Amino acid sequence: MRCLASAICPGNASSVATVGRPRWRHARDNLARTASGNPMTTPTTLSEWLAYIEQQHPSSIAMGLERVREVAARLQIAAPAKHAIVVGGTNGKGSTVAFIEAIGRAAGWKIGAYTSPHLLRYNERVRIDGEEASDAQLVDAFAAVEAARGDTALTYFEFGTLAALWLFQSAALDLTVLEIGLGGRLDAVNIVDADVAVITTVDIDHTDWLGEDREAIGTEKAGIMRAWKPVVLGEIDPPSSVLRRAYQLGANAIRAGSDYFFEPIEVQHPENPQSDAPQWRWRDVAVTLELPMPALHAPVQLANAAAAIAALQALPVEVPAAAWVQGIGNAQVAGRLQRLAVDGLQVLLDVGHNPQAARALAAALGAQAHAGSTYAIYAALADKDVVGVVEAVAAQIDHWALAGLEGARGQSAQALHARLQGTAAAQALCHRDVASAVEAVLATASPGDRVLVFGSFHTVADALSALHSAC
């Protein structure tokens, strides 16, 4: 790849192309209307439906459950499977969902999984029995929600959540595992009364919506608990607000470091040295499991896998021993220290976008044996703690490049650079978008170097799109 022209910031910024949504070709007739009630062209493809539902509420985020519950009652989707697990937390939600899904499927269960946001295709958000929902299925689901909502305004996320639950309701599932979108207490997913709740971690993010400190944020995330139901707490030191809410509800708090434990182990097989692969142990008072290391590479993934195991152990269903091993080894999710080989370079993609995630990323980079230089391409939304992120990972980075992101919450590379004065990224090269940064850095780096692209789901999506286009 040839290097694009770049300059030390500041410089002229141009608009950044977002990853385009594919144009799907499945049609369905149904009645559609604008939020004001005026007739409009009927959506007939998934791309048309996605454009339509973006327009059905004046705000992209509207916290509260009344509207969603009202429409859910009309759809009769309150119990989308025999069992349900809801996963909340600041970081690690998507990975924890992936572990639960993989273990459950290895056990022979039919699983519905709902996650957000997506990287390249909306279909990624809804999986049924290991397969992404098809365009036709999503079109049908959106049409059902549209018919049920009447004059009730729904946000993009609320519309999508109801559509996913509608699909799950009709799929005869053994288990649904649902990722909270934002916070917990007032998130649309929280209309489901889960058998088990999981709170992976609580840290500083989305402060405009959730509060300025861990205690306030913990109060919001604790809203997914249910009275007398288990809640798995995936970090050793959860905020007191979380513990207090569990006590008030009589919820069975299952805590990492108190009620379950996990640690790497070394297993020696003198008769078969090839089987001396790294392993780890999960244990509680009744069960001990010795497991392969997750296919998801970062050290923090042990905590996510351990929380997933604790959640499944809390269900009133037996998991075969082989399913733990197979599921942990098979679980995959894009954009979580995802590794790609490109022209002799190791490219790492990570959606981490807050200081806690950046600290985990730095630990993962430091744990990797690596002789070459490390290049970082960083692009972030304007409402993120970019200084905290850069400072957390800076010791692992040799060369920095900044890129712009488009959209209402995006910012140019120049604006990002201005916020990073006094940090290790102050001398970074600026690029108009992630694709430009990827092309320039890949042209500059040498075989044996590694290239980290991180900072947002948008950043990773743009990088994947650029890398796929170049192949």
Domains parsed from the chain with CATH numbers: 46-330 (3.40.1190.10), 335-470 (3.90.190.20)
Question: For position 3, what pLDDT does the model report?
Answer: 34
11-20, 356-365, 461-470: range with lowest mean pLDDT: 11-20
Question: For position 471, what pLDDT does the model report?
Answer: 61
Residue 5 has pLDDT above 50, yes or no: no
Residue 25 has pLDDT above 50, yes or no: no
Band of residue 78 on the pLDDT scale cut at 50, 70, 90 = confident
What is the signed CA dihedral for 296, 297, 298, 299, rounded to 10 degrees? Answer: 100
Average pLDDT, integer, range 254-283: 84
Closest of 422, 428, 416 to residue 459, by C-alpha: 416
Average pLDDT, integer, range 241-249: 98
Q: Are 338 and 454 in contact (CB under 8 A)?
A: no
Average pLDDT, integer, range 435-449: 97
How far from 97 is each of 20, 121, 309, 409, 426, CA to CA, in Å? 26, 18, 11, 26, 37
Residue 40 has pLDDT above 60, yes or no: no
Question: For position 204, what pLDDT does the model report?
Answer: 82
Question: For position 56, what pLDDT does the model report?
Answer: 84
Average pLDDT, integer, range 216-235: 97
Average pLDDT, integer, range 226-253: 98
Q: Which amino acid would we find at residue 273? A: P
279 strand-pairing partners = 265, 292
Band of residue 83 on the pLDDT scale cut at 50, 70, 90 = very high
Average pLDDT, integer, range 217-232: 97
Could you report the per-residue pLDDT of 276-335, keeping only the tens digit for each? 678 999 999 999 999 999 999 899 999 999 999 999 999 999 999 999 999 999 999 999
56-65, 292-301, 434-443: range with lowest mean pLDDT: 56-65
Q: Count Cβ neighbours within 10 Å for each residue of 42-76 and write b for 16 or more, e otherwise.
A: bbbbbbbbbebbeebbeeebbeebebbeebbebbe
Question: For position 266, what pLDDT does the model report?
Answer: 81
Residue 28 has pLDDT above 60, yes or no: no
Question: For position 447, what pLDDT does the model report?
Answer: 93
3-state SS, the chain, equals CCCCCCEECCCCCCCCCCCCCCCCCCCCCCCCECCCCCECCCCCCHHHHHHHHCCCCCCCCCCCCHHHHHHHHHHCCCCCCCEEEEEECCCCHHHHHHHHHHHHHHCCCCEEEECCCCCCCHHHHEEECCEECCHHHHHHHHHHHHHHHCCCCCCHHHHHHHHHHHHHHCCCCCEEEEECCCCCCCCHHHHCCCCEEEECCCCCCCHHHHCCCHHHHHHHHHHHCCCCCEEEECCCCCCHHHHHHHHHHCCEEEEECCCEEEEEECCCCCCCHHHCCCEEEEEECCCEEEEECCCCCCCCHHHHHHHHHHHHHHCCCCCCHHHHHHHHHHCCCCCCCEEEEECCEEEEEECCCCHHHHHHHHHHHHHCCCCCCEEEEECCCCCCCHHHHHHHHHHHCCEEEEECCCCCCCCCHHHHHHHCCCCCCCCCEEECCHHHHHHHHHHHCCCCCEEEEECCHHHHHHHHHHHHHHC
Closest of 417, 397, 413 to residue 405, by C-alpha: 413
17-26, 173-182, 310-319, 400-409: range with lowest mean pLDDT: 17-26
Rounded to whole angstroms, the Cα distance separating 178 from 192 reads 9
Question: For position 273, what pLDDT does the model report?
Answer: 58
Residue 208 has pLDDT above 90, yes or no: no
Residue 452 has pLDDT above 50, yes or no: yes
Residue 271 has pLDDT above 80, yes or no: no
Question: For position 10, what pLDDT does the model report?
Answer: 42
Question: For position 7, what pLDDT does the model report?
Answer: 39
Look-up of token digits 């946000």: 155
Question: For position 269, what pLDDT does the model report?
Answer: 62
Could you report the per-residue pLDDT of 369-424, keeping only the tens digit for each? 888 999 999 999 999 999 999 999 999 999 999 999 999 899 999 999 999 999 99
Question: For position 65, what pLDDT does the model report?
Answer: 94
Average pLDDT, integer, range 18-29: 28
Could you report the per-residue pLDDT of 115-166, keeping only the tens digit for each? 999 999 999 999 999 999 999 999 999 999 999 999 999 999 999 999 999 9
Per the prediction, the chain carries an average pLDDT of 90
Rounded to whole angstroms, the Cα distance separating 243 from 233 reads 9
